[in-house]
Amino acid sequence: MAIIKFHNVGITAMSACVPSKVVSNRDLGYLIPEDEIEKTINNIGIEERRIADDDVCASDLCYKAAKQLMEDNNIDPASIDVLLFMSQTADYRIPATAPLLQHRLCLSKNTCCIDLSLGCSGFVFALSTAFAYASMEGVNRVLLLDGETFSKICNKRDKVDWPLYGDGATATLIEKGDFEESTFILKSDGSGANAVIIPNGGMRNPTTADSLIETAREEGNIRNDLEIYMDGMEVFNFAMSVVPKGVKEIAKETGTTLDDIDWLVFHQANKFMTDFFAKRLKFNMEKVPYCIHKYGNTSSTSVPLTIVSELKDKLKKGDQVVMCGFGAGLSWGTARVVFGDCKISPVIEY
């Protein structure tokens, strides 16, 4: 178990950008029987999603979010010491996307730029990385950009995955300052790697002509081997076994109780699952924010997007926020962050 604690670093600003294109799940009659659409929406909690245009990448959404954050907080581009880009939908396999964003944002060539890639737990893991860099001598500001465009790797005729995924991006500024202790608990289980996977396109199974052939899979779902597959039941069982336990572990490790948590922010996988977590924990549902109904499952972006979209006018200095991410890998992470003065910008559209 990786238990990591940080002192005197924290989040000072956040922003988010989503595509302007809205896709309603009530228009999925071609994929789901009409008499089952409302039931499906009620179960997963997703009424609509934001879908990026064909020529818009995760980095484009991150760029807009970063510009908004920097403008709203009068951030000098030269003051950013480290730029982290968290995504599973990067611009290219080579080069990394972070240097491209450094250039586009007019950051200094002295900026350390790194790409990170993980599943729906990604923001919690990446935030721990940002805190680690910000804790170092010689580093004062870290800009964490987290963006995903899963619509580009999901088949529109896959009735398991297509109703779930949306696109979005966030920017988070981490700095040194007078902050309370932050704690991260990060875990992984690679034995469940096949639960969420794109089978081809990597070095293990390179892309071939056959990779592009769409075929009917389990329960008639259509996709090719360059598109995402998720075993929904395996992910559900995995999450049920680790997420509530993770919340209790973070409370125990920090010497607090569940009642001390002001906001419990889960990865927005589906509403039934998140409701189940809160009920198992006997946690006050009014302190569990949701944005899944209007943005869908935005993978690693969902935790910060929930904070920006739902807590902008509610998050106060001193609030204890517990964040929980879980997904492909398999990997899961829980973090407790006590917020100081954090400027949250309104969600913008691209």
Residue 101 to residue 80: CA distance in whole angstroms: 12
Does residue 106 carry a catalytic annotation? no
Q: Is the peptide bond before 330 cis (omega within 30 degrees of 0)?
A: yes
Residue 223 to residue 87: CA distance in whole angstroms: 22
Q: What is the pLDDT of residues 223-241, one digit of tens each?
A: 999 999 999 889 999 999 9
Residue 192: CB atoms within 10 A of its CB come to: 18
Q: What is the pLDDT of residues 143-160, one digit of tens each?
A: 999 999 999 999 999 988
According to the model, what pLDDT value does residue 220 have? Answer: 84
Residue 247: CB atoms within 10 A of its CB come to: 23
Does residue 120 carry a catalytic annotation? yes
What are the structure tokens assigned to 41, written together?
A: 């929406």
According to the model, what pLDDT value does residue 218 have? Answer: 84
Q: Whole-model pTM?
A: 0.96
According to the model, what pLDDT value does residue 232 have? Answer: 86
Q: Is the peptide bond before 144 cis (omega within 30 degrees of 0)?
A: no
Residue 253 to residue 195: CA distance in whole angstroms: 29
DSSP 8-state code for residue 334: E
Kindly state the helix (H) or strand (E) to which residue 69 belongs, with its residue range.
Answer: helix 58-72
State yes or no: pLDDT of 313 exceeds 70.
Answer: yes
The torsion angles phi and psi of 239, rounded to 5 degrees, stand at -65, -40
According to the model, what pLDDT value does residue 1 have? Answer: 61
Residue 304 to residue 280: CA distance in whole angstroms: 23
Q: What is the pLDDT of residues 59-90, one digit of tens each?
A: 999 999 999 999 999 999 999 999 999 999 99
Alpha-carbon dihedral of residues 213, 214, 218, 221, nearest 10 degrees?
170
**What percentage of the chain reaches a pLDDT higher than 90?**
93
Residue with tokens 């999603």: 49
Which amino acid appears at position 216 of this protein? A
Mean pLDDT of 326-335: 96
Reduced to 3 states (helix: H, G, I; strand: E, B; else coil), residue 217 is coil
Please enumerate in sequence order all residues whose Cβ is within 8 A of that of 54, keeping only pairs 6 or more positions apart, or say none.
Answer: none
Confidence of residue 138 (pLDDT cuts 50, 70, 90): very high
Does residue 103 carry a catalytic annotation? no
Residue of 83, 292, 327, 314 whose CA lies nearest to 189? 327
Separation in Å, CA 265 to CA 56, 205, 262, 292, 340? 28, 36, 10, 12, 17
Q: What is the pLDDT of residues 272-284, one digit of tens each?
A: 999 999 999 999 9
Mean pLDDT of 307-312: 97
Domains of the chain plus CATH, in order, are 1-350 (3.40.47.10)
How distant is the alpha carbon of residue 232 from its chain centre? 18
Query: Active-site residue among 57, 62, 113, 267?
Result: 267
Q: What is the pLDDT of residues 112-123, one digit of tens each?
A: 999 999 999 999
Residue 306 to residue 16: CA distance in whole angstroms: 10
According to the model, what pLDDT value does residue 180 have? Answer: 95
Confidence of residue 182 (pLDDT cuts 50, 70, 90): very high
Query: Active-site residue among 120, 154, 324, 342?
Result: 120
Strand partners, 264: 322
Kindly state the helix (H) or strand (E) to which residue 66 belongs, with its residue range.
Answer: helix 58-72
Query: Active-site residue among 25, 155, 270, 297?
Result: 297
Mean pLDDT of 296-318: 97
